[in-house]
Amino acid sequence: MTHPFDLSGRVAIVTGANTGIGQAIAVALAAAGADIACVGRTPAQETVGKIRDLGRRAEIVAADLSTIEPVRRVVDETVARLGGLHILVNNAGIIRRADAVDFTEADWDAVVDTNLKSVFFLSQAAGRHMIAARHGRIINIASMLTFQGGIRVPSYTASKSGVGGLTKLLANEWAAKGVTVNAIAPGYIATNNTAALQADEGRNKAILDRIPAGRWGDAADLGGAAVFLASDAAAYVQGHILAVDGGWLAR
């Protein structure tokens, strides 16, 4: 490796890699030298093309992470097709919006199962492989709602608060085993998940008025943080939640 941020020879799983934050992180890791397994229920052909254009290997691993059924296969298939597993980015997630008094059990379970339960069990499957190798990097995608309550997204807030706690728990257990576990908390990023907020004139203005940077984030703004946490430069960073938020939490 030529510098501490070099990911040459590393293999990464990125869930939800077909678009938005997942795609941006997958491409950033590839630009730093990693080969990528693009995991999700929607095939990530565009992402794979971008990665291969950078001269890196990329494979699509089809998996619906609304249940934990595919998690072991995701790890096994990645190792078989790309020759190893060194980095896991738990990005796949969904959101459902409704007033708390009207929120349904189905919307609660759908979000928590995808955003928290599958994150744990995929981390567990990857962690077993990484612990055996005495090396690994797990990066969870948290949220501003890991720190705050938000409105009209009770299951999303609960799941992302859980991601923050889970990140620290796994770091506590696995730090001495060669595996780092950290999280990135994106601020307000212009993606499909935030389209409803961007389209709401009042909410959009209120959000922009609070962000010191004065703009919505772009998914590409998260790439550098992901490369850092995946790299040897972050070998002594454990259980940290890195906000990439344009200053939102500082306001």
Q: Which residues are catalytic?
A: 156
Q: Output the DSSP codes for 199-222.
A: H-HHHHHHHHHH-TT-SPBPGGGG
Long-range pairs, 45-48, Cβ under 8 A, ≥24: 46/18, 46/19, 47/17, 47/18, 47/19, 47/22, 47/23
Q: Where are the beta strands (DSSP E) in 1-86?
A: 11-15, 35-40, 58-62
Q: Give 165's contacts (C-beta < 8 A, 6+ positions apart).
A: none
| Region class of 49: left (phi > 0), else alpha (psi between -120 and 50), else beta | alpha
Amino acid letter, 163: V
Start-to-end Cα distance in the chain: 39
SS3 of residue 18 by DSSP: coil
Parallel, antiparallel or unpaired: strands 241-244 and 179-186: parallel
